[in-house]
Structure 1
Amino acid sequence: MNWYLDVLKNYAGFSGRARRKEYWMFVLFNFIIGIVLSVIGTAIDTQIPYYLYLLAVLVPSLAVLVRRLHDTGRSGWWFFIAFVPLVGFIILIVFLASEGKPETNQHGVNPKLAPQGI
């Protein structure tokens, strides 16, 4: 849960780097919360809570995605490869799942080596 909350605290932080674990734990929690809100919305016959949640986490989701791309040594603009038909989304998933660069790059130090908050 701390990985999820850390991303939300860094709401619009597009600079820096994000570890694989930080990104994928955030995606996992978003997925679980989305399912729960969708079920609740179905029960109360409206999907408004689900759409409000999606709107609320849009900027943090984009920010952590850009920081994840920075960790792999790529610019955040690589996000737009997802719009290439058929293969773009698959290429983006491969980028997001690949290991980050172990050395310091133009986006900062390796987050695995940086001290973690308690």
Structure 2
Amino acid sequence: MEHRTIGELMPRKVVSVRLDTPFKEIAQTLADNAVSAVPVLDGLGRPAGIVSEADLLRKAADRSDLSGRTPLPHLEAWERARAEGRTAGELMSAPAVCAHPDWTVVEAARLMEVQQVKRLPVVDEA
């Protein structure tokens, strides 16, 4: 049985942000492109991490509820530091776990399971 490759299935138009992209611009990028996450690229255009709706919601959930009706969630120190971030580089999940376009779907799924990630940026040797 031959499995399809990631390169055959991946979207060709990739939306991304830079490390210094501010919170509001990330949220707008997600909404404008109807995606739930974007890769965060370093200065050389390489994936440094992923910022997702969940990362943005963590930041919003860390805000105090002035009414006092909603308790703040318990966050570990590293989660709180990320929640207090203002840019993609501070909010992202890192490092980026990446796949190669020649990998099969099975190989990618195994990596996602082992690394406990929901998204894999697809990169080549360059």
Q: Which structure has the bigger radius of gyration?
A: 2
State the TM-score, normalized to the length of structure 1: 0.31
Structure with more of its chain in helix, by fraction: 1
TM-score (structure 2 length as normaliser): 0.30
